[in-house]
Structure 1
Amino acid sequence: MPASDETETAIRERLGRIVEALEAKSLDELKDCYTEDVVSFDIEPPLQHVGADAKLRNWANAFASFRELRYELRNLAVTADGDVAFAHGFGRLSGTLANGTATEGMWVRVTYCLKRTGGEWRIAHDQVSVPFDLATGRGVADLEP
């Protein structure tokens, strides 16, 4: 079911806050975007990261790798019913690495599962994935939305 205009706006604003917090390298602002028990299937091992602290450690690792970073979301679609919602699209982390090298990053597929608690939408689960070539078993990192 498509999200109501009000719900979709609130979810897009929440995801927009993630973009702003990433670009500001603010773990405090990011923490407010996730449930305490978030489960993340992030791009880095292990297969899952459980809890807000584990999710924030992943972002802290990214912050340490980048002197300056940008995060983009494209083609975001939002679906909601009651107090649960999901959004999916494409994300890209890019910027200047700690060693001064500029990188355009790569586009990945992102899915966010959100729940509304206390009137606020927070991410309860996220998943990031990279397509791979079945013949070689290697990730395909040069695709664009």
Structure 2
Amino acid sequence: MSATHPVYALQQAWALAAKRQDLPQIQSFYQSEFLAFDAVKQLQFNASDYFVHWGQCMEFCPQHSHFDLHQVQLHSSGDLAVVTALLYCAGTDEQGNTQGCWLRLTQAWQLQHTNWQIIHDHFSVPFDMVSTQVLFQLTPEHGESA
């Protein structure tokens, strides 16, 4: 992955805005019309519903202690870039309990005039097909359980 590509710095800034729970800053990275697939709540989100969802997630975990990108890979051609990463997200709830897990993240970015913006977000968590249990205990080291 090229750390010199503009999307690399933008994605790092996006993750920092998410860690700070700065919803207006988070929104600034997205094109006005986009589609998002999140790991929580529903199959897909349009632009207006997605930021309501972000707000609800922030209320659930009012203090992020982690929103950290790992194993970031960027592939680009012309005005499109695709970024994949593993994301460790953890926060402390109002009772002081820290909860966190690893997620898979894919983002599609498109160059709009002179600005790169997110046109698609996809967060997911693996699950076991036999038990139908979500595998929150997985870690990046060989995909093994913690």
- 2:116 is the alignment partner of 1:131: no
1:16 corresponds to: 12
3-state SS, counterpart of residue 106 of structure 1 = strand
Return the offset for 1:100.
Answer: 1.6
Q: Distance in 1 between matches of 2:60 and 2:94?
A: 5
Judge conservation of contact 2:89–2:103 (CA < 8 Å) in 1: no
1:56 corresponds to: 51
Cα offsets for 1:82-118 (capped at 9, x unmatched): 0001010111210211222122x11011100110112
2:105 to 110, 132, 136: 110
Instruction: Give unpaired runs (5+ residues) of structure 2.
Output: 141-146
Q: CA RMSD in A?
A: 1.5
Q: TM-score, normalised by structure 2?
A: 0.88
Q: Which runs of 4+ in 1 moved over 4 A?
A: none
Quote the sequence identity (%).
22
Q: TM-score, normalised by structure 1?
A: 0.89
Q: Counterpart of 1:140 in structure 2: which amino acid? A: L
Matched residue count: 139
3-state SS, counterpart of residue 39 of structure 1 = strand
